[in-house]
Amino acid sequence: MDRLTENKIILVSRHTRLDDLIARFNTIDQARFYVEHLGADFSDYVRERDTYRAALAQTEVTLRELGRVQTLDRSFLPNFIFGKDDTLVVLGQDGLVANTVKYLSEQPVIGVNPDPQRWDGVLLPFTVHDLSLIVPEVFAAKREIKEVTMAKAELNNGQRLLAVNDLFIGPKSHVSARYVIRIDGREEQHSSSGVIVSTGLGSTGWLKSLLAGAVGVASGLAGSDLPVSAQSSFNWDANYLLFTVREPFPSKTSAASLVFGKVTREAPLMLVSQMPEKGVIFSDGIEDDFLEFNSGTRALITIADKKGRLVV
């Protein structure tokens, strides 16, 4: 068939909830029994899958008129080798966009919302119908690109992990994390539920909820009606990260004053694990892709050298 260009387009897709249930229970009937037995609406799962499949099919048709298309399931992202001139089209949700950007270098990413009635899509500014206009503009470098600062965790054993939204450093299970925290000349022993380090892109997610909770608790303790500040969010391309400690526990051996602050290239965050086992570092909510963070391991948290590039 005739196509507009020979440019390479990678279409990143995902499984729906129903796809995962069928993989787990082998048939759609068994998946239906499981969902309905728990009192849930199985038809919602079917609508979500059908809407996504229709969007995926239409996206493929549109993109094949514009360039050479390869469809890539999200499970292959960590091991896929991207070409420097590839253009990425990600068929949402937001988490899939963030997870894709982490494995790229300078390739532009177009986030597409497959179901605007279902997903808000902060990182999904486009619909399937927009692609015939947006993709040629990206090819011609006529579309605005927004840079995204990423976080980096680097261990003293040479391993490293990038994050587009946030890093979590703490326990794999519901026990206290024990570590030493150091930044900008200050140091404390901590016992907490872990540390979150957020980028500007991730500041409207996990960080926002943590700060909202902290402000709410402070408001209650003070007996005032202090509003939750919107200042927890910051620019996607900001030259800093923010960290916050979850549920720090003050005791004879642990402090709770070094619990929030800014991380820069000049003032990185250092964490030294004191957990004999089950210490982890994971990024962007992907718990299965983690670095072990056990006794003696040092993690240096700072801004990553590379940036993500989102088409807006």
At 182 the pLDDT is: 96
Does residue 283 have a pLDDT over 90? yes
At 121 the pLDDT is: 83
- Residue 270: strand, helix, or coil: strand
Does residue 262 have a pLDDT over 60? yes
Strand-pairing partners, residue 269, are 183, 301
At 221 the pLDDT is: 63
At 220 the pLDDT is: 66
At 152 the pLDDT is: 96
Mean pLDDT, residues 278-298 taken together: 91
At 187 the pLDDT is: 95
User: How far is it, in rounded angstroms, from Cα 105 to Cα 171?
Assistant: 30
- What are the structural domains, with CATH classification, of the chain? 8-143 (3.40.50), 150-304 (2.60.200.30)
At 296 the pLDDT is: 93
Segment 177-235, tens digit of pLDDT: 999 999 999 999 999 999 999 999 998 888 888 887 787 677 666 665 545 454 567 89
Residue with tokens 């387009």, as numbered in its chain: 9
At 137 the pLDDT is: 97
Q: How many CB atoms lie within 10 A of CB 272?
A: 18
Q: Are 90 and 110 in contact (CB under 8 A)?
A: yes
Mean pLDDT, residues 71-80 taken together: 93
State the sign of the Cα–Cα–Cα–Cα dihedral 116, 122, 125, 126. negative
Segment 19-68, tens digit of pLDDT: 999 999 999 999 999 999 988 899 999 999 999 999 999 999 999 999 99
State the sign of the Cα–Cα–Cα–Cα dihedral 273, 304, 111, 71. negative
User: How far is it, in rounded angstroms, from Cα 164 to Cα 148?
Assistant: 8
At 230 the pLDDT is: 46
The share of the chain scoring above pLDDT 70, in percent, equals 95
Segment 84-134, tens digit of pLDDT: 999 999 998 898 999 999 999 889 999 999 999 998 888 999 999 999 999
User: How far is it, in rounded angstroms, from Cα 238 to Cα 53?
Assistant: 36
At 173 the pLDDT is: 79
At 229 the pLDDT is: 54
Segment 134-188, tens digit of pLDDT: 999 999 999 999 999 999 999 999 999 999 999 999 998 778 899 999 999 999 9
User: How far is it, in rounded angstroms, from Cα 89 to Cα 109?
Assistant: 6
Segment 234-248, tens digit of pLDDT: 899 999 999 999 888
